[in-house]
């Protein structure tokens, strides 16, 4: 395994950091393809000297993608955006960028390409994010037929974008909005399990299983997840139902902020349940026992606890 070279696009992101750690433990040689090579210094401490190398890449630029892939044995694409900004559109990143990676991987003859999409990705979604994820999957498959597609549900763990955001909101706001009444069903999956799943996809024989939908051991409603945040942070807050149409208006207004906490497109993606389909391949098929939210959440959102109540 130590001679295996893996290029990880988006390796500096939330899931990427966990994957790099997992790969470093297995002594793989890792290239972290990123637009900010200077910021991966802390990742390099996860491996031996020279084991983890940054490589300046923008997946919208085919030449930099080829440079990052040449000589690699396997490729993982973890690049994704939650909202559009200037040239970083869903089409340019999730579809064209993904196609750039598949083209370069195919040309370089890499043995495996793992493409990270998202649960709920479908061409018919009203969410532009989810539509572009479906189109990206298709573009990748058209070029690199044996690419393995991994579709996680909402991913939780230290530095996640979901629980941290609502825990922070609960600290400053007297109420928590239940988007769409809080009825949407979600199957949060632990970031360590997602990293493990990608690791298994890289190393085991998964040729016949090309799409994995990754969810945790339990399905929750949005309301139940908000209740869990409040219980874990020992706060009492009103849970106020907010119809989808009102949440979309708030999302549209938030789009003008430098880092929007919510967009109308994210609200659209919450209009549908986010759970693995019965027929999909899952963590189980990879031999991974999924981690419950309750076991991990207190380890990182307790910093949002009510002062004096932190236990």
Near ligand NAP in 116-135, by CB under 6 A: 116, 118
Cβ atoms of 123 and 134 within 8 Å: the answer is yes
Q: Which helix (H) or strand (E) holds 163?
A: helix 163-172
| Region from 42-50, 51-59, 179-187, 277-285 binding ligand NAP, contact rule CB under 6 A | 51-59
C-alpha span between 83 and 89 (Å, rounded): 8
Candidate list 60, 67, 171, 255; residue touching ligand NAP; CB under 6 A: 60
Q: How far is the CB of 4 from ligand NAP (least distance, A)?
A: 21
Q: Which of 49, 50, 53, 3 has the alpha carbon at shortest distance from 26?
A: 3
Binding mask 76-95 for ligand NAP (x = CB under 6 A): --xxxx------x----x--
Candidate list 22, 30, 34, 147; residue touching ligand NAP; CB under 6 A: 34
Cβ atoms of 30 and 6 within 8 Å: the answer is yes
- Contact between 41 and ligand NAP per CB under 6 A: no
- Contact between 260 and ligand NAP per CB under 6 A: no
Q: How far is the CB of 133 from ligand NAP (least distance, A)?
A: 7
Q: How far is the CB of 306 from ligand NAP (least distance, A)?
A: 26
Q: 253: how many CB neighbours lie within 10 A of its CB?
A: 13
Q: 285: how many CB neighbours lie within 10 A of its CB?
A: 13
Q: In this structure, what token pair is assigned to residue 35? A: 């637009």
Strand order, beta sheet including 211-214: 52-56, 29-34, 5-9, 74-77, 112-116, 148-152, 211-214
Nearer to ligand NAP, 14 or 234 (CB): 14
- Contact between 192 and ligand NAP per CB under 6 A: no
C-alpha span between 43 and 12 (Å, rounded): 8
| Region from 31-39, 42-50, 198-206, 287-295 binding ligand NAP, contact rule CB under 6 A | 31-39
Which residues form the interface with ligand NAP (CB under 6 A)?
9-10, 12-16, 34-36, 57-60, 78-81, 88, 93, 97, 116, 118, 152, 154-155, 161
């Amino acid at each position: 395994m130590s001679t295996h070279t893996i290029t990880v696009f988006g390796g500096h992101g939330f899931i990427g950091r966990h994957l790099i750690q997992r790969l470093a433990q297995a002594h793989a040689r890792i290239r972290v393809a990123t637009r900010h090579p200077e910021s991966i210094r802390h990742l390099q401490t996860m491996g031996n000297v020279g084991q983890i190398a940054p490589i300046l890449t923008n997946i919208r630029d085919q030449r930099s993608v080829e440079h990052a892939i040449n000589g690699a044995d396997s490729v993982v694409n973890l690049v994704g955006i939650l909202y559009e900004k200037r040239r970083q559109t869903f089409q340019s990143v999730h579809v064209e960028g993904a196609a750039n990676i598949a083209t370069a991987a195919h040309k370089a003859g890499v043995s495996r390409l793992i493409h990270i999409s998202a649960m709920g990705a479908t061409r018919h979604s009203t969410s532009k994010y989810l539509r572009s994820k479906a189109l990206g999957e298709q573009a990748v498959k058209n070029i690199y037929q044996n690419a393995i597609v991994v579709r996680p549900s909402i991913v939780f763990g230290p530095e996640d974008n979901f629980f941290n955001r609502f825990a922070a909101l609960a600290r400053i706001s007297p109420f928590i909005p239940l988007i769409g009444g809080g009825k949407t069903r979600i199957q949060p999956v632990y970031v360590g399990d997602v990293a493990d799943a990608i690791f298994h996809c890289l190393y085991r024989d998964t040729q016949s299983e090309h799409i994995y939908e990754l969810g945790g051991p339990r399905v929750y409603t949005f309301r139940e997840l908000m209740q869990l945040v409040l219980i874990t942070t020992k706060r009492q807050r009103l849970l106020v139902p907010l119809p989808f149409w009102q949440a979309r208006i708030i999302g549209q207004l938030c789009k003008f902020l430098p880092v929007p906490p919510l967009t109308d497109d994210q609200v659209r993606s919450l209009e549908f349940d986010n759970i693995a389909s019965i027929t999909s391949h899952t963590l189980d098929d990879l031999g991974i026992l999924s981690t419950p939210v309750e076991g991990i959440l207190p380890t990182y959102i307790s910093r949002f606890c009510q002062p004096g109540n932190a236990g």
